[in-house]
Chain A
Amino acid sequence: GESVGLHLPTLSVQEGDNSIINCAYSNSASDYFIWYKQESGKGPQFIIDIRSNMDKRQGQRVTVLLNKTVKHLSLQIAATQPGDSAVYFCAETAGTYKYIFGTGTRLKVLA
């Protein structure tokens, strides 16, 4: 399928290592954040979310960290696998149900 973004920042990680994908969000009033994964030819897939009253939330192999002081969000993937190769987007919303998406980061898992 067509690439999601031709000039996305790329993170290359060795299989089995941990990955950290970062996102700077724009609106200090945003109160809900989501990470999505998009594989080639598919729609974005929900990974994990976090509300602004939390600074950390864990899922299966994934952790989201929120630093409201510097408006920074990160996604940590433990023991990265080839199936994790995709473009990852962060999204923010300030209660309007209008989601603002970041530009995305391409994760490449090296065998």
Chain B
Amino acid sequence: KAGVTQTPRYLIKTRGQQVTLSCSPISGHRSVSWYQQTPGQGLQFLFEYFSETQRNKGNFPGRFSGRQFSNSRSEMNVSTLELGDSALYLCASRGASSTTSTDTQYFGPGTRLTVL
């Protein structure tokens, strides 16, 4: 199976702009989660979607939003970008495999966002 894919891999934006990141989960996985990773804060959960519905949400401002489509692909949007939004944004899809004891998360390579 192909892994989780994310586009674009790198992005440079300026303050005040908005950005949309895309994630395609592993085939058959219906859950997609988004994380923000920074050196100072580590991996922080943004939100999780399942069957086009947001099922869990982390402690991020409303500028961060997402959605999931009927084919399980997901997008994440950040509006009015701030310098502190510079981070690696990771998408993870969740599902079973022969090597895990239960459904687990598999991560994509991430989108590196730089806000100038």
Contact = CB atoms under 8 A, between A and B. Distances in A.
Interface stretch (A12-20, A21-29, A45-53): A45-53
Interface residues of B, number: 31
B102 A98 contact: no
Interface in B46-98: 48, 50, 55-56, 58, 88, 90, 92, 94
B109 A42 contact: yes
* Most chain B Cβ neighbours within 10 Å, of A3, A43, A96, A99: A43
A97 B56 contact: yes
B39 A44 contact: no
Specify the main secondary structure of chain A where it touches its partner.
Answer: loop
Contacts of A65: none
Interface in B95-109: 99-102, 104-109
A40 B90 CA distance: 14
Contacts, number: 71
A49 B100 contact: yes
B112 A43 contact: no
A6 B56 CA distance: 29
A45 B109 CA distance: 9
16 contacts: A4-B39, A5-B42, A7-B39, A32-B104, A34-B105, A41-B109, A45-B107, A46-B106, A46-B107, A49-B104, A54-B101, A91-B105, A97-B31, A98-B33, A98-B58, A99-B33
Nearest to A51: B101
Given A43-B90, A43-B109, A49-B101, A101 B42 contact: yes
B25 interface: no
Contacts of A59: 99
A57 interface: yes
B48 A51 contact: no
Nearest to B50: A97
B105 A98 contact: no
B116 interface: no
A46 B39 CA distance: 20
